[in-house]
Structure 1
């Protein structure tokens, strides 16, 4: 569905502006990222209105995206699968309430994962030189450390979910089959 929509829009743009320097393939590729993000946000917020957990969903969408930008993480092979899995996961995460001990433990595990594995799988997705990767690790850890102060269950779950996507075992693939 995502590739179909991206292609339809790219072809439309190219027909309306035939002299545009970007090819249909480049437009389709860029649009697929935009649509992926927009659809995840819309589905997650739509479900949050149904569950009454909109505040939590907004926190999850924001915190996950911020940590992911500096720490990286695994990607699903299909954009459609990414939309479904991410929206479902975010909705489920928004429903979870935790006490102070689980929050502390999730923060601790998240910090450990970030320190061990971040940044992960960003080599071909960023223009940031490798010499700055240690700084990305520090920024990632700083994000997680803030929740030792806030003690938010939503942030603890979100940071842990994102940190888990950083794990890369020997011989691990760039993408997960869906």
Structure 2
């Protein structure tokens, strides 16, 4: 569903601005990413409004997205699959409430997973040269370690979910 919408939008942009330097394929890809983020955010927030978990969901989404930029992770084959899985994941995580010990434990496990697996699968997703990937690992490790001080259970569960997505058994 996302790809056809992005294609129609890209074709429309190209028809209105035929001299635009970007090809239809490049525009389609960029628009698909934007639509993906929009649909995930909108659907998750709508559900959170219905469940009364808006603060939790926003915390989870921000922590997940922030860490994902530095560490990467698995990608689903379709944009719509990503929307459905992400929406269900963020909504489901908002109902998990960890106590202090579990919050610290989840954070420590996330830190270990970052040391072992990060960054994962970002080679084709970023313009950052591979020589800087170790810095991404260190940055992610430091960022996650702040939750040892903050001890936010929703950040802990979000970063744990994100770092679990780094594990690729085929690698």
Runs of 5+ consecutive residues of structure 1 not aligned to the other structure: 173-178
Aligned-partner Cα distance in 1 for 2:112–2:46: 33
Question: Per-residue CA shift, 1:96-124, capped at 9, x if unaligned?
Answer: 11111211211111111011100111111
Asked if 1:117 corresponds to 2:114, the answer is no
After alignment, is 102-111 or 80-89 more displaced? 102-111
Q: List per-residue Cα deviations over 1:12-52 (Å, max 9, x = no partner).
A: 11121122122211111111011001111111111110111
Runs of 4+ more than 4 Å apart: none
- Equivalent pairs, count: 171
Give the structure-1-normalised TM-score: 0.92
Q: Give the equivalent residue in structure 1 for 2:5.
A: 5
Question: TM-score normalized by structure 2?
Answer: 0.96
Correspondence list, 1:126-145, <5 A: 126-145=126-145
Q: 5 Å matches for 1:4-153?
A: 4-153=4-153
CA RMSD of aligned residues (A): 1.0
Give the Cα–Cα distance (whole angstroms) in 2 for the partners of residues 73 and 93 of structure 1.
18
Listed as ranges, the gaps of 5+ residues in structure 2 are none
Pairwise CA distance, 1:132: 1.2
Q: Distance in 2 between matches of 1:54 and 1:5?
A: 28
Moved more, 127-136 or 76-85: 127-136
